[in-house]
Amino acid sequence: MAEFRMPSLGADMEAGTLIEWKVKPGDRITRGDIIAEVETDKGIIEVEVFEDGIVDQILVQPDAKVPVGTVLATIRSVGAAPMPTADRAVAERMPVGAEPPVQPSLEAGGPRIPAPTMVPPASTTERRLRVSPLARKLADELGIDVSTVQGTGPDGAIERADVERAAAAKKAEERPPAPTPTPSPTTPEVAPTPEVPPRAAKAAVPEFQVRMRRAIAAAMARSNREIPHYYLETRIDMSRALRWLETENQKRTIKDRLLPAVLLVKAVAKALGDVPELNGYWIDDRLQPQEAIHIGFAISLRQGGLVIPAIHHVDLKSLDELMEVLHDLIPRVRAGRLRSSELTDATITVTNLGDLGVEVVYGVIYPPQVALVGFGKIVEQPWAEHGMLGIRPILTATLAADHRATDGHRGGQFLDSLNRYLQEPAKL
Amino acid sequence: MTEAQIKEVILKVLGRIAPEADLDTLDPDANVREALDIDSFDHLNLLIGLNEELRVDIPEADYGQLTTLAAILSYLSARVR
């Protein structure tokens, strides 16, 4: 029996209000299904389940506000009632992110950190194929068939790294042909029409803004209190990138055109591959680098406030796929309809204020992350190269990083890498 | 299509992108992106919306001409059949 708990949807969330159940006892659910809606300071969040099974009992009713970690419902696996001991042994040996299957007591005051706490107990549905829940979730998201993945865990269990390798291999194979459509993480049940649903309209009232402001205040005050920031900035010549983008966009219809922002996000992901220490969390007095690169992309709300949803696995997505993600994500952010994984998974933040006149961004890191990359407006500036002075479109990129986790030298290498990738846009 | 009809389409698409904006008071000569606080993503969606509604192809090179409501209207009026 698994427990579905009130998730922690951000560093400073302590409690959430259950708004609605999308399922009832006896319903069959699949990993990735949105089964409940929870209201937090960030809006109404659609909460996904990371497990196949059948809803057993609903323990918390709508409108109840409960602390993070409270068991909201129990889920039993399909067919069987309790988890057989043999499978439990397997589950316990699943190393990647799998928690011990049974945790009856509520860990009050447990770590209020994102991703890891979101991972539910290992499921028992798959007997022959041993796949960690995280690996399965990832595979679903990336459109990878787990039966084709070579597992390297205990007893050949498939772990997250295996799925990532498979996805990278698949990507490499697919490079020449046209970009594949984005593997949609969940069913597109959120209509992309910007018709504001009634609840979102309610969410936009000042009270909501007051609470969002308070949430931002708490996170940013904590950041400033705890994180010894250091800042680096570099000027990047964007003429190659913009020229490439222009040629590329000429071939495309309006719908498929790329924005410079996707080049930047992708280049950040690639540079993080070179300097992985900037991609992760500072938890328990040590740096915990994350393998997956989930970039929190800051999106401001016109009514005031800021939401930073995660774009998952940026390193494994093509520019077209990233564009599609933005087309899906931004309207949902504006309407206040995000999914739990999008609020919890970011491993680094990118903030792009280039739409305004801002040239340089000195960011405040979102804890427990250890870095934030800021981009300003691309402006024409005098640029000297090979003893010649010319006018070039220049982008100022900044890195705000946690000095506990990294030093300026590594930060400098990251910015150098970023620059290098932006000089070869066709390879992004 | 008359100019009034085209204007109506533009306002409809803008209304979808910035539902909180009061479009009745939008100055036709104001920079739309600044006046409505529209970012580059919204701006692209505006053009996609106009393209879908009016079947006018807008090359990227022309984006710079489409800054104000009046400019968008005249650009489209010249091209809509």
Check A254 against B48: CB less than 8 A apart: yes
Partner residue opposite B41 with nearest CB, options A193, A250, A259: A259
Model confidence at A134, in pLDDT bands (50, 70, 90)?
low
| Closest-CA residue to A415 (of A395, A398, A393) | A398
Domain ranges (residues) in chain B: 3-77
Among A204, A302, A330, the residue with its CB nearest the CB of B18 is A302
pLDDT at B73 over 90: yes
Six-digit token pair at B2? Answer: 């008359």
Q: Is residue A160 within 8 Å of A134, Cβ to Cβ?
A: yes
Residue A157 lies in a domain: yes
Pick the CATH number of B3-77 from 3.30.160.250, 1.10.3720.10, 3.40.605.10, 1.10.1200.10: 1.10.1200.10
What pLDDT is recorded for position A168? 73
My answer on whether A105 and A158 are in the same domain is no
Q: Is residue A284 situated within a structural domain?
A: yes
pLDDT: which is higher, A150 or A279: A279
- Lowest mean pLDDT segment, chosen from A27-31, A102-106, A392-396: A102-106
Whether A357 and chain B come into contact, CB under 8 Å, resolves to no
Is residue A190 a part of any domain in this protein?
A: no
pLDDT digit string (tens) for B7-23? 999 999 999 888 888 88
Segment A324-350 shows an average pLDDT of: 88
Structural domain harbouring A269: 198-427
**What is the mean predicted confidence (pLDDT) over A24-41?**
87
Contact B2/A at CB under 8 A? no
What's the CA gap between A289 and A292, in Å, rounded? 9
Contact A254 B58 (CB under 8 A): yes
Same domain, A102 and A132: no
- Rounded distance, CA A318 to CA A118, Å? 27
Position A24 in a domain? yes
Q: Is the pTM of this model over 0.95?
A: no
pLDDT at A100: 35
* CATH number assigned to the domain comprising residue A161: 4.10.320.10
Q: Domain check: are A410 and A344 in the same one? A: yes
Cross-chain Cβ contact B41/A194 below 8 Å: no
**Arithmetic mean of pLDDT, A210-237:** 93
Q: Domain holding A56: CATH number?
A: 2.40.50.100
Q: Which residues pair with A337 in a beta bridge?
A: A44
**Same domain, yes or no: A345 and A275:** yes
Given CB atoms, is B32 within the 8 Å cutoff of chain A? no
| Alpha-helical regions (H) of A149-205 | 160-174, 198-203
CB proximity A147 to B under 8 Å: no
Q: What is the pLDDT of residue A15?
A: 85
What one-character DSSP code corresponds to residue A305?
-
**B20 Cα to chain A: minimum distance (Å):** 8
Residue A188 domain-assigned (yes or no): no
Instruction: Establish if A191 belongs to a structural domain.
Output: no
Looking at residue A390, its amino acid is: G
Q: Do A259 and B47 touch (CB under 8 A)?
A: no
Same domain, A203 and A166: no
The verdict on A46 and A114 lying in the same domain is yes
Whether A53 and A139 share a structural domain: no
Contact at CB, B19 and A255, closer than 8 angstroms: no
The whole-angstrom distance between B12's CA and the closest CA on chain A is 12
- Name residues whose C-beta falls within 8 Å of residue A119's C-beta, 6 or more positions apart in sequence: A50, A97, A98, A99, A133, A134
Query: What Å distances lie between residue B5 and B2, B9, B11, B69, CA to CA?
Result: 5, 6, 10, 14
pLDDT for A39 equals 83
| Interface contacts A/B by beta carbons within 8 Å | 43
Half-sphere exposure of A41 (CA within 13 A, CB side): 22
CATH of the domain at A349: 3.30.559.10
**In this structure, are strands A43-48 and A34-40 parallel, antiparallel, or unpaired?**
antiparallel
Q: Which residue of A lies nearest to B63 if distances are taken between CA atoms? A: A254
Among candidate residues A383, A305, A306, the one with its CA nearest the CA of residue A346: A306
Inter-CA distances, A188 with A279, A329, A331, Å:
29, 11, 13
Share of chain A above pLDDT 90, in %: 46
Of A89, A118, A147, the last residue of a domain is A118
The pLDDT of residue A270: 98
On average, the pLDDT of chain A sits at: 79
Residues 285-314 of A with CB under 8 A from B: 300, 302-303
Check if the beta carbon of residue A309 is closer than 8 Å to that of residue A338: yes
Give the count of domains, chain A: 3
